[in-house]
A and B are shown apart, each in its own frame.
Chain A
Amino acid sequence: MAEHSAEHIVSPKTYAAVLTALLIGTALTVYAAKVDLGRFNIVLALTIATIKMTLVILFFMHGKYSPRRTQLVIVAGFFWLAIMLGLTLQDYSTRHAEPSRSQLNELPSSLLRRS
């Protein structure tokens, strides 16, 4: 730790390149939104947003040059976010999949005949 010099300084050139990439990403996401890709519109929009976020964190926020300890905190933050989003969404998406036994008994017989 003693030997590595103070802080890493990101050059204005790199910042300008990131700015350009972010602006291109913004134009691209607007363009892509107007094309009908069915359910992949949302996938593409979120992919572009995630790439833009990664660029901001790595360069504008110096994530790429941060000590391991700081990087671990950043990754941990997104890990917990993934737990919150993932487990809640899977709960919502599976909750109504199968009616319970008691619900089945209450359903009209016309619906039960299907199974």
Chain B
Amino acid sequence: MHRTGELFGQFQTLEQQKETATLGMWVFLVTEILFFGGLFLTYSINRHAYATAFGIGGNMLDLNLGFGNTVVLIASSFTMAMSVWSAQTSHKKLVPIFLILTLVLGSVFLGIKVVEYKQKFDHHLIPGHSFDITYCSKNPSACNLSGKDLDDEKKEIKEGIEAEADEAKKQGAANPEDVGAAALNAHAQLYFSLYFGMTGLHALHMIIGAGLLLWLIFEARKGRFDANYNTPVDNIGLYWHFVDIVWIFLFPLLYLINRHLA
């Protein structure tokens, strides 16, 4: 059974029916806001507690890839909004075209994310047994690191270990230098755990969104969505924009916060 925009018994008008669907979608998005909000909160508290290690971790992300992904995702939000406009104005041929563009841009985002994850894997920045925040500064050729970037990273890590060693000394550690190096690695690992947790959950939302888009494209090609009935396009659009908003906050918090120190 396909819905085609007929009026259901519990509503008085089609307008009320549409508004109810939008309201329901927003209630779901509010739960999503609080869901991601918990992660942002965890990030804030730990960033405050381990600012040095988080700063070093953040500077190890690839700013160009992160910036490119932000642009791609914002563009996909625009094409999504345009597909909603196409449906509302009964440009039935345009609806699938804009949806396909949105899906392509969403896939580019996920593709770039894969490149980034692979890079972090090669650089020993996946939390776990082989995590080593000093890997790139010790093996610069393996990370394509040279010149000023290499000097900056070495300096940052040296200062980070010193800061952690000072902290350990204050707490009365017998061998603050060793404790400092271990603490920096542990706290940087915490940063990368949050990085993978938050971007991973965001990427999962993108994958779900891509699945929803596939279904929408399939249905839109049959010409199902027009001025009379476009609730699915509208609601999946809301979801897509929400995922964009999450990234709008993830990008500065994960990639940008300590760039001025480098």
Contact = CB atoms under 8 A, between A and B. Distances in A.
Interface of A: 1-2, 6-7, 9-12, 15-16, 18-19, 22-23, 26, 29-30, 33-37, 41-42, 45-46, 48-49, 52-53, 56-57, 59-61, 66-67, 69-70, 73-74, 76-78, 80-81, 84-85, 88-89, 92-93
Give the secondary structure class of A's interface: helix
A33 B252 contact: yes
Most chain B Cβ neighbours within 10 Å, of A10, A18, A35, A70: A70
B259 A33 contact: yes
Nearest to A78: B33
Contacts of A70: 19, 22-23, 26
Given A6-B15, A36-B261, A92-B48, 16 more contacts: A2-B13, A9-B85, A10-B81, A26-B71, A35-B260, A53-B248, A60-B78, A60-B241, A70-B19, A70-B26, A73-B23, A77-B26, A80-B34, A81-B37, A85-B41, A88-B45
Contacts of B115: none
Using C-beta atoms within 8 Å of the partner chain, give the interface range for chain B. Answer: 35 or more
A33 B40 contact: no
Interface of B: 13-16, 18-19, 22-23, 26-27, 29-30, 33-34, 37-38, 40-41, 44-45, 48, 63, 67, 70-71, 74-75, 77-78, 80-82, 85, 88-89, 227, 237-238, 241-242, 244-245, 248-249, 251-253, 256-257, 259-261
Contacts of B26: 70, 73-74, 77
A69 B245 contact: no
Contact of B81 (A7, A60, A81): A60
Given A37-B260, A42-B257, A45-B252, A66 B67 contact: no
Q: Which 5 A/B pairs are nearest by Cβ-Cβ distance?
A: A77-B30, A33-B256, A45-B252, A36-B260, A19-B78
Given A23-B74, A52-B248, A85-B40, A45 B257 contact: yes
A33 B257 contact: yes
A45 to B, nearest CB: 4
